[in-house]
Amino acid sequence: MLLISLTSTFSMNLYVATPTVHACDKCNFLLAWGSSVRRSGNGQFNNPQGIAIDSTGNIYVVDYGNYRVQKFDSSGTYITQWGSHGSGNGQFRDADGIAVDSSGNVYVADGGNYRVQKFTSDGTYLTKWGSHRSPNGQFRDGDGVAVDSNGNVYVTDWGNNRVEKFTGSGNYISQWGSDGSGNGQFGEFGPTGIAVDSSGNVYVADTNNNRVQKFSSDGKYLTQWGSYGDTGTGQFSYPHGIAADSSGNVYITNWGDDRVQKFGDSTPSDLTRSLWTQYSQPYLILPIILVGIIIGVVLNRRRSKAKESSLLQ
Protein backbone atom coordinates (compact mmCIF):
# COMPACT_ATOMS: atom_id res chain seq x y z
CA MET A 1 0.00 0.00 0.00
CA LEU A 2 1.63 3.21 -1.19
CA LEU A 3 1.30 6.87 -0.41
CA ILE A 4 2.27 8.91 -3.46
CA SER A 5 3.14 12.60 -3.85
CA LEU A 6 2.69 14.22 -7.25
CA THR A 7 2.80 17.65 -8.81
CA SER A 8 0.15 18.65 -11.30
CA THR A 9 -0.29 21.21 -14.06
CA PHE A 10 -2.45 23.18 -11.61
CA SER A 11 0.57 24.25 -9.45
CA MET A 12 -0.23 22.00 -6.52
CA ASN A 13 1.10 18.99 -4.74
CA LEU A 14 -1.32 16.09 -4.77
CA TYR A 15 -1.19 13.22 -2.27
CA VAL A 16 -2.95 10.04 -3.34
CA ALA A 17 -3.38 6.77 -1.45
CA THR A 18 -4.06 3.88 -3.80
CA PRO A 19 -3.39 0.13 -3.86
CA THR A 20 -2.45 0.13 -7.55
CA VAL A 21 -1.04 2.87 -9.75
CA HIS A 22 -0.92 2.37 -13.50
CA ALA A 23 -0.18 5.85 -14.84
CA CYS A 24 -0.71 9.51 -14.13
CA ASP A 25 -1.78 11.99 -16.76
CA LYS A 26 -0.77 15.65 -16.32
CA CYS A 27 1.18 14.86 -13.14
CA ASN A 28 4.86 14.60 -12.21
CA PHE A 29 5.85 11.93 -9.74
CA LEU A 30 7.69 13.20 -6.65
CA LEU A 31 7.98 10.37 -4.16
CA ALA A 32 6.22 7.41 -2.58
CA TRP A 33 6.49 5.60 0.70
CA GLY A 34 5.07 2.40 2.11
CA SER A 35 5.33 -0.93 0.35
CA SER A 36 3.48 -2.73 -2.41
CA VAL A 37 2.13 -5.27 0.07
CA ARG A 38 0.31 -4.75 3.36
CA ARG A 39 2.66 -4.44 6.34
CA SER A 40 2.55 -3.22 9.93
CA GLY A 41 6.01 -1.75 10.51
CA ASN A 42 6.74 1.93 11.04
CA GLY A 43 5.98 3.76 7.79
CA GLN A 44 4.19 0.77 6.28
CA PHE A 45 0.45 0.47 5.66
CA ASN A 46 -2.43 -1.95 5.61
CA ASN A 47 -5.06 -0.16 3.52
CA PRO A 48 -4.33 3.56 4.10
CA GLN A 49 -7.47 5.71 4.08
CA GLY A 50 -7.85 9.33 5.19
CA ILE A 51 -4.99 11.79 4.91
CA ALA A 52 -4.43 15.31 6.22
CA ILE A 53 -1.60 17.83 6.31
CA ASP A 54 -0.91 20.46 8.94
CA SER A 55 0.33 24.01 8.40
CA THR A 56 3.98 22.94 8.72
CA GLY A 57 3.66 20.21 6.09
CA ASN A 58 3.46 17.16 8.33
CA ILE A 59 1.31 14.39 6.91
CA TYR A 60 -1.15 12.27 8.91
CA VAL A 61 -2.45 9.01 7.46
CA VAL A 62 -5.21 6.75 8.78
CA ASP A 63 -3.69 3.26 8.53
CA TYR A 64 -7.06 1.53 8.48
CA GLY A 65 -5.98 -2.11 8.63
CA ASN A 66 -3.42 -1.48 11.39
CA TYR A 67 -5.86 0.56 13.52
CA ARG A 68 -3.57 3.54 13.86
CA VAL A 69 -2.62 7.00 12.63
CA GLN A 70 0.90 7.51 11.31
CA LYS A 71 2.64 10.88 11.08
CA PHE A 72 5.32 11.78 8.52
CA ASP A 73 7.19 14.87 7.44
CA SER A 74 6.69 16.23 3.92
CA SER A 75 9.43 13.99 2.53
CA GLY A 76 7.74 10.86 3.89
CA THR A 77 10.08 10.34 6.84
CA TYR A 78 8.30 8.52 9.66
CA ILE A 79 7.79 10.62 12.81
CA THR A 80 5.38 8.81 15.12
CA GLN A 81 2.16 6.82 15.35
CA TRP A 82 -0.70 6.17 17.72
CA GLY A 83 -3.65 3.84 18.05
CA SER A 84 -4.51 0.17 18.37
CA HIS A 85 -7.57 -2.00 17.86
CA GLY A 86 -10.35 -1.45 20.37
CA SER A 87 -12.88 0.98 21.77
CA GLY A 88 -10.82 2.73 24.47
CA ASN A 89 -9.54 6.28 24.27
CA GLY A 90 -7.06 6.51 21.41
CA GLN A 91 -8.06 3.14 19.97
CA PHE A 92 -9.79 2.62 16.62
CA ARG A 93 -12.20 0.34 14.85
CA ASP A 94 -12.76 1.17 11.19
CA ALA A 95 -11.19 4.64 11.37
CA ASP A 96 -11.52 6.48 8.09
CA GLY A 97 -11.57 10.26 7.70
CA ILE A 98 -9.02 12.62 9.25
CA ALA A 99 -8.63 16.41 9.42
CA VAL A 100 -6.29 18.93 11.06
CA ASP A 101 -7.37 22.35 12.35
CA SER A 102 -5.35 25.58 12.29
CA SER A 103 -3.98 24.84 15.77
CA GLY A 104 -2.64 21.45 14.71
CA ASN A 105 -5.29 19.35 16.46
CA VAL A 106 -6.13 16.12 14.67
CA TYR A 107 -9.67 14.77 14.27
CA VAL A 108 -10.33 11.15 13.30
CA ALA A 109 -13.68 9.68 12.26
CA ASP A 110 -13.64 6.38 14.16
CA GLY A 111 -16.56 4.86 12.27
CA GLY A 112 -16.68 1.42 13.85
CA ASN A 113 -16.84 2.99 17.30
CA TYR A 114 -19.42 5.56 16.13
CA ARG A 115 -17.42 8.54 17.30
CA VAL A 116 -14.91 11.26 16.48
CA GLN A 117 -11.66 11.40 18.43
CA LYS A 118 -9.49 14.50 18.85
CA PHE A 119 -5.72 14.42 19.41
CA THR A 120 -2.80 16.79 19.63
CA SER A 121 -0.34 16.78 16.74
CA ASP A 122 1.82 14.20 18.55
CA GLY A 123 -1.10 11.85 19.18
CA THR A 124 -2.01 12.73 22.74
CA TYR A 125 -5.68 11.96 23.26
CA LEU A 126 -7.80 15.03 24.04
CA THR A 127 -11.49 14.16 23.78
CA LYS A 128 -14.14 12.24 21.87
CA TRP A 129 -17.80 12.50 21.06
CA GLY A 130 -20.53 10.36 19.56
CA SER A 131 -22.18 7.00 20.12
CA HIS A 132 -24.26 4.56 18.09
CA ARG A 133 -27.66 5.39 16.55
CA SER A 134 -29.42 8.50 15.27
CA PRO A 135 -30.11 11.26 17.86
CA ASN A 136 -28.23 14.55 17.58
CA GLY A 137 -24.49 14.06 17.95
CA GLN A 138 -24.62 10.30 17.42
CA PHE A 139 -23.48 8.31 14.39
CA ARG A 140 -24.21 5.21 12.40
CA ASP A 141 -20.66 5.24 11.03
CA GLY A 142 -19.08 8.66 10.79
CA ASP A 143 -17.03 8.62 7.61
CA GLY A 144 -15.60 11.87 6.28
CA VAL A 145 -14.47 14.76 8.48
CA ALA A 146 -13.54 18.35 7.65
CA VAL A 147 -12.71 21.48 9.65
CA ASP A 148 -13.49 25.07 8.64
CA SER A 149 -11.45 28.19 9.34
CA ASN A 150 -13.42 28.82 12.53
CA GLY A 151 -12.59 25.41 13.94
CA ASN A 152 -16.02 23.88 13.37
CA VAL A 153 -16.01 20.17 12.55
CA TYR A 154 -18.24 18.58 9.90
CA VAL A 155 -18.81 14.82 9.84
CA THR A 156 -20.59 12.75 7.19
CA ASP A 157 -22.80 10.30 9.07
CA TRP A 158 -23.51 8.02 6.13
CA GLY A 159 -25.60 5.49 8.10
CA ASN A 160 -28.04 8.27 9.00
CA ASN A 161 -27.86 10.00 5.59
CA ARG A 162 -26.77 13.32 7.04
CA VAL A 163 -23.99 15.77 7.82
CA GLU A 164 -23.47 16.84 11.44
CA LYS A 165 -21.70 20.00 12.54
CA PHE A 166 -19.86 20.39 15.87
CA THR A 167 -17.58 22.80 17.65
CA GLY A 168 -13.94 21.80 17.91
CA SER A 169 -14.63 20.41 21.38
CA GLY A 170 -17.47 18.21 20.14
CA ASN A 171 -20.52 20.27 21.09
CA TYR A 172 -23.36 19.57 18.68
CA ILE A 173 -24.40 22.56 16.53
CA SER A 174 -26.66 21.36 13.74
CA GLN A 175 -27.30 18.74 11.08
CA TRP A 176 -28.85 18.38 7.66
CA GLY A 177 -29.83 15.60 5.29
CA SER A 178 -32.17 12.62 5.04
CA ASP A 179 -32.58 9.54 2.89
CA GLY A 180 -33.55 10.30 -0.69
CA SER A 181 -32.53 11.93 -3.95
CA GLY A 182 -33.99 15.41 -3.56
CA ASN A 183 -32.08 18.60 -2.89
CA GLY A 184 -30.22 18.25 0.40
CA GLN A 185 -30.94 14.53 0.66
CA PHE A 186 -28.42 11.70 0.38
CA GLY A 187 -28.71 8.30 -1.27
CA GLU A 188 -28.56 4.83 0.24
CA PHE A 189 -25.61 4.44 2.60
CA GLY A 190 -25.42 8.21 2.70
CA PRO A 191 -22.73 10.84 2.16
CA THR A 192 -19.03 10.00 2.21
CA GLY A 193 -16.33 12.56 1.39
CA ILE A 194 -16.64 16.13 2.65
CA ALA A 195 -14.65 19.34 2.18
CA VAL A 196 -14.93 23.00 3.17
CA ASP A 197 -13.66 25.86 1.01
CA SER A 198 -12.08 29.13 2.15
CA SER A 199 -15.51 30.82 2.17
CA GLY A 200 -17.01 28.19 4.45
CA ASN A 201 -19.06 26.41 1.79
CA VAL A 202 -19.43 22.67 2.36
CA TYR A 203 -19.14 20.12 -0.46
CA VAL A 204 -20.42 16.57 0.03
CA ALA A 205 -19.95 13.50 -2.14
CA ASP A 206 -23.44 11.99 -2.41
CA THR A 207 -22.10 8.65 -3.53
CA ASN A 208 -25.12 6.54 -4.45
CA ASN A 209 -26.87 9.49 -6.10
CA ASN A 210 -23.75 10.04 -8.23
CA ARG A 211 -23.53 13.75 -7.54
CA VAL A 212 -21.87 16.46 -5.48
CA GLN A 213 -23.96 18.78 -3.35
CA LYS A 214 -22.90 22.21 -2.11
CA PHE A 215 -24.20 23.78 1.10
CA SER A 216 -23.63 26.89 3.16
CA SER A 217 -21.87 26.46 6.50
CA ASP A 218 -25.25 26.18 8.25
CA GLY A 219 -26.48 23.47 5.89
CA LYS A 220 -28.54 25.52 3.46
CA TYR A 221 -28.71 23.78 0.10
CA LEU A 222 -27.01 25.82 -2.64
CA THR A 223 -26.51 23.68 -5.73
CA GLN A 224 -25.55 20.26 -7.07
CA TRP A 225 -24.02 18.67 -10.12
CA GLY A 226 -23.42 15.23 -11.56
CA SER A 227 -25.24 12.25 -12.96
CA TYR A 228 -24.40 8.60 -13.43
CA GLY A 229 -21.87 7.81 -16.12
CA ASP A 230 -18.47 6.21 -16.59
CA THR A 231 -16.79 8.52 -19.09
CA GLY A 232 -18.74 11.71 -19.62
CA THR A 233 -17.60 15.12 -18.43
CA GLY A 234 -19.30 15.86 -15.12
CA GLN A 235 -20.59 12.31 -14.80
CA PHE A 236 -19.83 10.17 -11.77
CA SER A 237 -19.64 6.50 -10.93
CA TYR A 238 -19.77 6.43 -7.14
CA PRO A 239 -17.87 9.59 -6.16
CA HIS A 240 -16.22 9.40 -2.74
CA GLY A 241 -13.23 11.68 -2.29
CA ILE A 242 -13.62 15.45 -2.48
CA ALA A 243 -11.38 18.47 -1.95
CA ALA A 244 -11.67 22.22 -2.51
CA ASP A 245 -8.73 24.54 -3.13
CA SER A 246 -8.34 28.23 -2.30
CA SER A 247 -9.32 29.25 -5.83
CA GLY A 248 -12.71 27.59 -5.55
CA ASN A 249 -11.87 24.54 -7.65
CA VAL A 250 -13.35 21.23 -6.55
CA TYR A 251 -11.71 17.82 -7.10
CA ILE A 252 -13.69 14.56 -7.07
CA THR A 253 -12.44 10.95 -7.01
CA ASN A 254 -14.55 8.21 -8.56
CA TRP A 255 -13.79 4.60 -7.70
CA GLY A 256 -16.38 3.32 -10.16
CA ASP A 257 -14.52 4.67 -13.19
CA ASP A 258 -11.02 5.12 -11.71
CA ARG A 259 -10.59 8.81 -12.43
CA VAL A 260 -10.39 12.24 -10.81
CA GLN A 261 -12.30 15.26 -12.13
CA LYS A 262 -11.74 18.95 -11.50
CA PHE A 263 -14.53 21.52 -11.53
CA GLY A 264 -13.63 25.18 -11.89
CA ASP A 265 -14.97 27.94 -9.68
CA SER A 266 -17.09 25.46 -7.77
CA THR A 267 -19.71 25.34 -10.52
CA PRO A 268 -20.53 22.42 -12.80
CA SER A 269 -20.59 24.48 -16.00
CA ASP A 270 -17.30 26.41 -15.84
CA LEU A 271 -14.61 23.78 -16.19
CA THR A 272 -14.32 20.04 -15.93
CA ARG A 273 -10.97 18.43 -16.54
CA SER A 274 -9.75 14.93 -15.86
CA LEU A 275 -6.52 15.05 -13.86
CA TRP A 276 -5.74 11.38 -14.25
CA THR A 277 -7.69 8.34 -15.30
CA GLN A 278 -5.60 5.21 -14.83
CA TYR A 279 -5.59 4.61 -11.09
CA SER A 280 -7.17 1.50 -9.66
CA GLN A 281 -9.71 2.64 -7.06
CA PRO A 282 -8.31 6.09 -6.16
CA TYR A 283 -8.86 6.24 -2.41
CA LEU A 284 -8.32 9.92 -1.77
CA ILE A 285 -6.88 13.12 -3.09
CA LEU A 286 -5.36 15.91 -1.05
CA PRO A 287 -4.30 19.05 -2.92
CA ILE A 288 -1.89 21.35 -1.09
CA ILE A 289 -0.89 24.85 -2.19
CA LEU A 290 2.86 24.97 -2.50
CA VAL A 291 3.28 27.46 0.36
CA GLY A 292 1.96 24.74 2.63
CA ILE A 293 -1.55 25.95 3.38
CA ILE A 294 -4.07 23.19 3.87
CA ILE A 295 -6.72 23.27 1.17
CA GLY A 296 -8.84 20.23 1.82
CA VAL A 297 -8.93 16.57 2.54
CA VAL A 298 -11.03 13.85 1.04
CA LEU A 299 -11.13 10.16 1.17
CA ASN A 300 -12.49 7.26 -0.73
CA ARG A 301 -13.04 3.73 0.45
CA ARG A 302 -14.83 0.88 -1.25
CA ARG A 303 -17.11 -0.71 1.35
CA SER A 304 -18.33 -4.25 1.43
CA LYS A 305 -22.07 -4.86 1.63
CA ALA A 306 -21.41 -7.04 4.65
CA LYS A 307 -19.99 -4.13 6.58
CA GLU A 308 -22.77 -1.79 5.47
CA SER A 309 -25.44 -4.26 6.55
CA SER A 310 -23.87 -4.88 9.95
CA LEU A 311 -23.47 -1.19 10.71
CA LEU A 312 -27.05 -0.40 9.78
CA GLN A 313 -28.52 -3.00 12.10
Residue-wise pLDDT for 65-117, tens only, equals 999 999 999 889 999 999 999 999 999 999 999 999 999 999 999 999 999 99
The one-letter amino acid at 154: Y
Mean pLDDT along residues 38-43: 90
Phi, psi dihedral angles at 208 (to 5 degrees)? -75, -15
Question: pLDDT tens digit string along 194-253?
Answer: 999 999 999 999 999 999 999 999 999 999 999 998 878 888 989 988 888 888 888 888
SS3 207: helix
SS3 54: coil
Surface-to-core class of residue 68, CB atoms within 10 Å of its CB (0-12 exposed, 13-18 middle, 19+ buried): buried
Q: What is the dihedral of CA 231, 236, 238, 239, to 10 degrees?
A: 120
- For residue 197, give every residue at least 6 positions away whose Cβ sits within 8 Å of its Cβ, in sequence order, or none: 203, 244, 245, 246, 248, 250, 266, 296
Query: Taking a C-beta distance cutoff of 8 angstroms, is the pair 196, 155 a contact?
Result: no
- For residue 139, give every residue at least 6 positions away whose Cβ sits within 8 Å of its Cβ, in sequence order, or none: 111, 114, 115, 130, 131, 132, 155, 157, 159, 160, 164
Query: Taking a C-beta distance cutoff of 8 angstroms, is the pair 211, 227 a contact?
Result: yes
How many whole angstroms separate alpha carbon 85 and alpha carbon 67?
5
213 Cα distance to chain centroid: 15
pLDDT at residue 129 tops 90: yes
